């Protein structure tokens, strides 16, 4: 009897040009797939219409081809599959597991301040003190007619609906128990983007038969949320592997908001894909270049280092 096919995916969001950190993540996915004789799929997570751009999607595909990343089958673009995510949202709504939240970010931050809670700055976006959780249904309906709102998952109800502990599995076979009460009532749909990343990604992983998720350590905190949604929607749960991040000269992860070096700039400066690949796949490689370094200077230094 043939062994089940292992399958992973690289799933960038086209909110800007691909940078060196994205390249590192893509290479980690490819390396795992090659070592496991697994399929590597490419998914463009472009449901955030306020930030994603078609030109960035095309640029990402060109950058990945230049880098030497080969993927199996057609590229899946989330924006072409919105009904799949709406169906999942409807399932949660029918079970009474989500509720409309009318809060602005400013309102939430003020309420947190009034309660004397002091989350870390990086957690502020996800912190939510339950302001709209217990609004009566009739009042909800009235406000939904006239006010903008987001759908939040009622984590307490969701946990009660499961009736048993849930876990996620890492690459070593270790089970990590989920404590739903620590996750908070996360947003899973918004008026401006329709569906959140959290809901779309678990639906896609199930539809695409993803058996292993290879992604950065910065997404480890999302794994509990994804496993909870998988359990609620009765979807299979992949094995998760969180690789290290490549850091900059200040010890911070490379990101678009930090104006990290783009592959387009390096390519235009004449660096070869093989030189970049060799550099990034070195053990403990660090992108030790200042942000004002030109792509040409970086290309010259990389060429001399490898």
Question: What CATH number does the domain containing 251 carry?
Answer: 3.40.50.620
| 46 and 107 part of one domain | no
15 domain residue, yes or no = yes
Q: Give the model's confidence band at 121: pLDDT under 50 very low, under 70 low, under 90 confident, else very high.
A: very low
Residues 67 and 158 in one domain: no
Dihedral (CA of 274, 279, 283, 287) sign: negative
Mean residue pLDDT across the chain: 87
pLDDT tens digits, residue range 47-71? Answer: 988 889 999 999 999 999 999 999 9
- 96, 155: one domain: yes
Cα three-residue angle 67-70-76, rounded to 5 degrees? 110
Contacts of 151 (CB under 8 A, 6+ apart): 89, 93, 98, 99, 100, 101, 187, 188, 189, 190
Three-state SS at 75: coil
| CA–CA distances in Å: residue 18 to residues 55, 229, 256, 262, 273 | 12, 29, 8, 6, 14
From residue 207, alpha-carbon distances to 36, 97, 193, 211 in Å are 21, 22, 21, 11
301 vs 135, residue with greater confidence: 135
- How far is 176 from 169, CA to CA, in rounded Å? 6
- On whether both 97 and 158 belong to a single domain, the answer is yes
User: Which are the contacts of 116, defined by CB distance < 8 A and separation ≥ 6?
Assistant: none
Predicted confidence at residue 219, as pLDDT, reads: 93
Between 36 and 258, whose confidence is greater?
36
Q: Is 225 inside any structural domain?
A: no
57 and 89 co-located in one domain: no
Q: In terms of domains, do 69 and 105 share one?
A: no
**Do 93 and 48 fall within a single domain?**
no
Domain count, the chain: 2
16 and 63 together in one domain: yes
Position 14 in a domain: yes
Q: Are residues 30 and 92 in the same domain?
A: no
- CA–CA gap between residue 132 and residue 247 (Å, rounded): 39
> According to the model, what pLDDT value does residue 133 have?
92
Q: Is residue 234 part of a domain?
A: no
Any domain includes 224: no
**What sign does the dihedral 165-171-174-178 (CA atoms) show?**
negative
pLDDT at 211: 98
Percentages (nearest 5) of helix, strand, coil residues in the chain = 45, 15, 40
**Contacts for 180 with CB less than 8 Å, ≥ 6 apart:** 155, 156, 158, 159, 224, 228
pLDDT of 243 higher than 60: yes
What CA–CA distance (Å, rounded) separates 61 from 31? Answer: 18
Q: Find the mean pLDDT for residues 96-111.
A: 83
- Domain range spanning residue 72? 7-78+246-305
Q: What is the rounded average pLDDT of the residues 281-296?
A: 74
Asked whether the predicted pLDDT for residue 34 surpasses 90, the reply is yes
- Which of 135, 167, 197 is where one domain is finished? 197
Q: How many CB atoms lie within 10 A of CB 116?
A: 6
Q: Which residue carries 């998952």 as its tokens?
A: 153
pLDDT at 258: 55
- Pair 104, 170 in one domain: yes
For residue 293, name the pLDDT band (cuts at 50, 70, 90).
low
Which of the four pLDDT bands, split at 50, 70 and 90, describes residue 298?
Answer: confident
In a domain, 228, yes or no: no
> What is the token pair recorded at 70?
């080969």
267 vs 250, which has greater pLDDT?
A: 267
Regarding predicted confidence, which is higher, 256 or 134?
A: 134
Last residue of a domain, one of 158, 181, 197: 197
**pLDDT given at position 124:** 37
pLDDT in tens, 68-92: 999 999 999 999 999 999 999 999 9
Which three-class secondary structure state does DSSP give residue 175? strand
Q: How far apart are CA 57 and CA 225, in angstroms?
A: 26
* More confidently predicted of 290 and 175: 175
Residue 2 domain-assigned?
no
User: Quick check: 185 and 129 in contact, CB under 8 A?
Assistant: no
Do the strands 187-190 and 150-153 form a parallel or antiparallel pair, or are they unpaired?
Answer: antiparallel
Residue 123 shares a structural domain with residue 42: no
Give the residue from 160, 176, 197 where a domain finishes: 197
- The pLDDT value given to residue 304: 57
> Does the residue 26 lie in any domain?
yes
Can you give the CATH number for the domain in which 91 is found?
Answer: 3.90.800.10
In this structure, are 100 and 49 located in the same domain? no
The strand order across the sheet containing 239-243 reads 175-177, 167-170, 239-243, 212-216
């Amino acid at each position: 009897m043939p062994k089940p096919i292992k399958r992973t995916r690289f799933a960038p969001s086209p909110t800007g040009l691909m940078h060196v950190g994205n390249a590192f993540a893509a290479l980690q996915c490819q390396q795992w797939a090659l070592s496991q004789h697994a399929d590597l799929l490419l998914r463009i997570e472009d449901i955030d219409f306020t930030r994603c751009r078609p030109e960035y999607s095309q640029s990402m595909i060109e950058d990945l081809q230049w880098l030497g990343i080969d993927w199996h089958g057609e590229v899946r673009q989330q924006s072409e599959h919105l009904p799949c995510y709406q169906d999942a949202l409807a399932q949660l709504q029918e079970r009474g597991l989500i509720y409309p939240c009318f809060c602005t970010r400013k309102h939430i931050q003020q309420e947190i301040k009034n309660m004397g809670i002091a989350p870390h700055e990086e957690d502020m976006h996800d912190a939510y003190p339950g302001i709209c959780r217990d609004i009566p249904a009739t009042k909800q309906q009235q406000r939904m007619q006239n006010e903008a709102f987001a759908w939040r998952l009622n984590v307490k109800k969701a946990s009660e609906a499961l009736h048993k502990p849930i876990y996620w599995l890492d690459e070593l076979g270790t089970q990590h128990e989920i404590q739903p009460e620590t996750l908070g009532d996360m947003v899973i749909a918004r008026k401006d983007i329709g569906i959140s990343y959290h809901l779309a990604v678990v639906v896609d992983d199930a539809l695409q038969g993803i058996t292993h998720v290879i992604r950065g350590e910065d997404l480890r905190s999302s794994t509990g949320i994804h496993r909870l949604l998988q359990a609620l929607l009765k979807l299979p749960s992949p094995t998760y592997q969180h690789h290290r991040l490549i850091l900059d000269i200040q010890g911070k992860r490379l990101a678009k908001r930090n104006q990290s070096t783009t592959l387009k700039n390096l390519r235009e400066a004449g660096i070869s894909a093989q030189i970049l690949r060799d550099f990034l796949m070195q053990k403990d490689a660090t992108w030790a270049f200042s942000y004002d370094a030109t792509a040409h200077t970086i290309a010259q230094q990389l060429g001399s280092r490898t």
